[in-house]
């Protein structure tokens, strides 16, 4: 969900694909992508039709050197017309820096697992809800037009804690909305989720939060990323996070690996006749600046490797699907 005054592209389509590669895709890598290459990559994503990008995380450079150029990256991204520029902020200090840089949307990681919360942000879940409250107050005072979401990490399970009770996930999401977040989405941080669980939890989330229920952020750790996104779509979710080339993973969650591949997700939805507003050929071409900035880094994705089906046309796919 974008804020009321956030830029929105008219060709956005039936769903919104939010590209998180420049933040989530890079944060767990040992290599640091040069700033100039990041900017070229963001430009290529934008040229493909991506209209929401999580471009950076505002954290101390000593903790995540990959994000040391966050303010510079934001300042470039906000010059692209119609692009919603999003940044992750783990605390009030990060939110202050992100707002000063000019972001359109803030996202705060609030872990449903107490063990992961302590490892990731060194705060309990209750303390993170209070952090959400403080950031919401700052947003109201300085930039009420900026969007603000809480992303519930490890909502489907945790490598540190194991099972995360669903009642606790829903309760925490409601607490985040009460504290001032515009929306709360669910993240499968370590790739534990299955489609039945995704349907059940998003059904409960939407029943509890209504229009404040947010995005699906799935990982493909065990090969179920696309299936889980489809399950979320069938429950009414219309915003999906994904990472070009499948890069990503939480450095504070052992065993976590790549995000859902943006190219595969876009192909799946377009083949179904669900419009994304994204040119898939240009999206695949956006891998070039990514690979140039991260030479030797493995890239994932079935669609880029196999190529598009002969004669594939997204508009044709939409027409054929509606005629079935």
Q: Which residues are catalytic?
A: 250
Distance in angstroms (rounded) separating the CA atoms of residues 92 and 40: 30
H or E stretch including 16? strand 16-19
**Cβ-based neighbour number of residue 76 at 10 Å:** 18
Round to whole Å and give the CA distance between 170 and 183. 13
Report the largest interatomic distance among the alpha carbons of the chain, rounded to a whole angstrom: 55
**Contacting residues for 166 by C-beta, under 8 A, at least 6 apart:** 200, 201, 204
What are the beta bridge partners of residue 147? 105
Q: What is the DSSP letter of 104?
A: S
Q: What are phi and psi of 75, to 5 degrees?
A: -60, -35
Give the integer Cα–Cα distance in Å for 320 and 127: 50
At residue 149, the 3 state secondary structure works out as strand
Q: What is the token pair recorded at 193?
A: 């989720």
Does an H or E element contain 266, and which? helix 262-272
For 132-228, where are the E strands, in sequence order?
Answer: 147-153, 183-187, 213-217
Query: Using alpha carbons only, what angle is made at residue 36 by residues 97 and 286, rounded to the nearest 5 degrees?
Result: 105
CA Rg value for the chain: 18
């Amino acid at each position: 969900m974008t804020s009321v005054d956030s830029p929105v592209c008219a060709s956005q389509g039936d769903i919104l694909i939010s590209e998180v590669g420049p933040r989530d895709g890079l944060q767990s890598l040992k290599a640091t992508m040069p700033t100039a290459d990041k900017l070229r990559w963001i430009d290529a994503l934008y040229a493909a039709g991506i209209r929401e990008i999580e471009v950076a995380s505002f954290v101390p450079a000593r903790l995540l050197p990959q994000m040391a150029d966050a303010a510079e990256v934001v300042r470039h991204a906000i010059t692209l017309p119609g692009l919603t520029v999003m940044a992750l902020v783990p605390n009030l200090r990060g939110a202050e820096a992100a707002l000063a840089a000019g972001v359109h949307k803030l996202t705060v990681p609030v872990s449903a697992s107490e063990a992961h919360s302590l490892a990731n942000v060194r705060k309990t879940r209750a303390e993170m809800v209070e952090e959400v409250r403080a950031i919401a107050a700052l947003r109201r005072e300085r930039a009420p037009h900026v969007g603000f979401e809480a992303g519930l990490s490890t909502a489907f399970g945790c490598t540190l804690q194991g099972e995360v009770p669903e009642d606790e996930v829903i309760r925490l999401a409601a607490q985040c909305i009460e504290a001032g977040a515009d929306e709360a989405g669910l993240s499968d941080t370590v790739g534990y989720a299955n489609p039945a669980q995704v349907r059940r939890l998003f059904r409960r989330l939407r029943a509890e939060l209504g229009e404040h229920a947010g995005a699906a952020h799935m990982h493909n750790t065990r090969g179920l990323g696309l299936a889980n996104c489809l399950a979320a779509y069938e429950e009414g979710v219309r915003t999906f996070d994904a990472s070009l080339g499948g890069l990503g993973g939480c450095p504070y969650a052992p065993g976590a690996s790549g995000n859902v591949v943006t190219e595969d997700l876009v192909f799946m939805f377009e083949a179904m006749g669900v419009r994304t507003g994204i040119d898939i050929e240009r999206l695949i071409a956006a891998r070039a600046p990514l690979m140039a900035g991260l030479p030797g880094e493995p890239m994932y994705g079935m669609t880029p490797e196999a190529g598009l089906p002969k004669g594939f046309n997204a508009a044709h796919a939409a027409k054929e699907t509606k005629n079935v």
